[in-house]
Amino acid sequence: MLDWMVANVVPIVFYTAAVLVVAGAAGVIWFRNPVHAALSLLATFLAVAGLFVLQHAEFIAAVQIVVYAGGVMVLFLFVMMLVNVRTLPREYQYVRSLLPVAVVTGGFLAAVVAAGLFARARLGAAETTALTAVEGELLGNTEAVGWVLYRDFLLPFEVVSLVLLVAMLGAIVMGRRDRREEDAGEEVRA
């Protein structure tokens, strides 16, 4: 049993993670309570991080956990707390009339991509050395990503940081209370 597991560690991890990913994604659509949906989404994020480790992307797996499981998920749960979903009028879960549209859209999308996917002959995977080496020297995945990121993609990197700044400013501006609203509130209190 143990020998079999050691010999087949990659398929075992892949299929476990794949089942978790799909189940989590289905849960996001299925659960009526947004908090349950968010926790289901968390399972998907963590399983995807596991898949990244299998694919020799250890650094991206760490980023995935820190940014998604740490940042985005906390943001989602925070907003749900702030909005207090329970006090809102009860949601009807699905738009029934749109269900056929969803099935057709999803089926069409899946068919087109799957056709492209399986029509191609299977090619062998390349060597993994480029994923862990910097100029022929074996260092690690993080070093390899950093080398390419800060050398070949410096300008896109700066642009993305600018995008983050703009997003932050936008979120602050939208989250702020309206000035007139604030003044009116003060007048009422006075």
Partner 1 sequence: MITITHYLALSLVLFTLGVVGMVIRRNFITLLMCVELIINGATINFIAYARHLGDVTGQVFAVFLITIAAAEAAIGLGIIVALVRLKQTVQLDQANVMRG
Cα–Cα dist 179/186, whole Å: 11
User: What is the bridge-based pairing of β-strands 133-134 and 137-138?
Assistant: antiparallel
HSE toward the beta carbon, residue 119, CA cutoff 13 A: 6
Question: Residue 79 or 184: which CB sits closer to partner 1?
Answer: 79
The one among 1, 2, 5, 95 contacting partner 1 by CB under 8 A = 95
- Minimum Å gap between C-beta 80 and partner 1 is 7
Task: Please give the residues from 15 up to 74 whose contact with partner 1 meets the rule CB under 8 A.
Answer: 18, 21-22, 25-26, 28-29, 34, 37-38, 41, 44-45, 48, 51-52, 54-57, 59-60, 63-64, 67-68, 71-72
Query: In angstroms, what CA-CA distances link 186 with 173, 180, 181, 182, 183?
Result: 21, 10, 9, 6, 5
Q: Does 138 bind partner 1 (CB under 8 A)?
A: no
The one among 102, 138, 139, 184 contacting partner 1 by CB under 8 A = 102
Task: Please give the residues from 74 up to 93 whose contact with partner 1 meets the rule CB under 8 A.
Answer: 75-76, 79-80, 82-83, 85, 88-89, 91-93
The one among 7, 81, 98, 139 contacting partner 1 by CB under 8 A = 98
DSSP letter string, 53-97:
HHTT-HHHHHHIIIIIIIIIHHHHHHHHHHHTGGGSPPPPS--GG
